[in-house]
Amino acid sequence: MSDILSIDSLYVEDKSTVILAGVSLRVREGERVALVGESGCGKTMTLRTLLHILPDDVRIRSGSLLFKGTDVLSLNGRKRRDLLYRQLGFVGQNTSENLHPLLKAGRQLTDFYREIHKCSKKEAMARAEKLLASLALDDTSRILSSCPGELSGGMRQRVGIAIALMNETGFLIADEPTSALDASAREQTEELYLKIAQETHMAMLLVSHDLSFVRRLADRVYVMYAGKIVEEGLADEVFSSPCHPYTKALIALSDIRNKSRDEDLDELGGYVPREGRDGLCCAFFSRCAYSCAGCGKPLEYRKVSATHHVRCVL
């Protein structure tokens, strides 16, 4: 399988701080990849760099970003946006809140689709109705003719996902898809994404700190801490044989949290450092139960197996 997305040695910084320090990851066609870590570790900034929505005071210092073989960073802003927004689907956090409150769902689903595919309103509506039905929604005609405020939270969430799927791009990015959901809604969301994966076979980049969701959905996992990838591997490898102490801590905490399905990873103690991310030593050492003298020395990305790598001396 060829890479649909390839990020290599990406450095992003603001005026005073390195935010992403040499991030590399890839997503192959048809593959579901997860990027996990606490809030503040750099997941959202990685997405914002890919989607070309960086804050004004943040810039890309170096690195490469290839999307479907095209060097995205070499394109000017308009060409970059045209490439990305026509060829990937994006589901942001709090999907239902991102819908325009005054526009009917049908229009929000079809306007961009009609512009890209140069089709009639009838054809676009037929596509939208079929897509909503595939997402386990009944009474699709009423949904398409309703404004978001007239729909339930679950319906709005599915409309938001349907917008991302309308153009059949073959690549879906989801940012914290289970964030702020209760246990029942979270389980329904997991089932919905599994259904999408099984029926469309599209590539996915799932950015989440919900490890239960990631465990069920992902083929491969990247663990991020303080702007760096500290571990990567097949999902089965990472969850059954984690190597980095940070990964072990996240999994242990997730297993405890799953009893109540609370979403926050806030019990590790300490905080994710903002300063010194471009250093060569381990940024996790001050929070690590296994820290040693070697943590203060330059670390290499160590090969555990052909598909599993870790940035740790242990």
Q: Are 301 and 244 in contact (CB under 8 A)?
A: no
* d(C-alpha 125, C-alpha 70), whole Å: 32
**Residue 131 within a domain:** no
Domain with 67 in it: what CATH number?
3.40.50.300
pLDDT band at residue 137 using 50, 70 and 90 as cut-offs: very high
Tokens read off for 310: 């870790």
Return the percentage of the chain with pLDDT > 90, whole number.
70
**Residue 130 within a domain:** no
pLDDT on residue 156: 92
| pLDDT exceeds 70 at position 265 | no
- Per the prediction, the chain carries an average pLDDT of 91
62 burial level (CB within 10 Å; 0-12, 13-18, 19+):
exposed
**Residue 141 within a domain:** no
- Tell me the C-alpha to C-alpha distance, in Å, between residue 230 and each of 99, 206, 209, 303: 35, 17, 15, 12
**Residue 101 within a domain:** no
**Residue 113 within a domain:** no
**Residue 138 within a domain:** no
| pLDDT exceeds 80 at position 1 | no
Residues 24-76 pLDDT 10s: 999 999 999 999 999 999 999 999 999 988 999 999 999 999 999 999 999 98
* d(C-alpha 57, C-alpha 291), whole Å: 35
pLDDT band at residue 97 using 50, 70 and 90 as cut-offs: confident
Task: Domain count for the chain, please give it.
Answer: 1
Which 3-state string (H, E, C) describes the chain?
A: CCEEEEEEEEEEECCCCEEEEEEEEEEECCCEEEEECCCCCCHHHHHHHHHCCCCCCCEEEEEEEEECCEEHHHCCHHHHHHHHHHHCEEECCCHHHHCCCCCCHHHHHHHHHHHHHCCCHHHHHHHHHHHHHHCCCCCHHHHHCCCHHHCCHHHHHHHHHHHHHCCCCCEEEEECCCCCCCHHHHHHHHHHHHHHHHHHCCEEEEEECCHHHHHHHCCEEEEEECCEEEEEEEHHHHHHCCCCHHHHHHHHHHHHHCCCCCCCCCCCCCCCCCCCCCCCCCCCHHHCCCCCHHHHCCCCCEEEECCEEECCCC
**Residue 150 within a domain:** no
Highest mean pLDDT (candidates 115-119, 174-178, 236-240, 293-297): 236-240
Q: Lowest-confidence range among 40-44, 129-133, 255-259?
A: 255-259
Domain extent, residue 291, equals 3-88+169-310
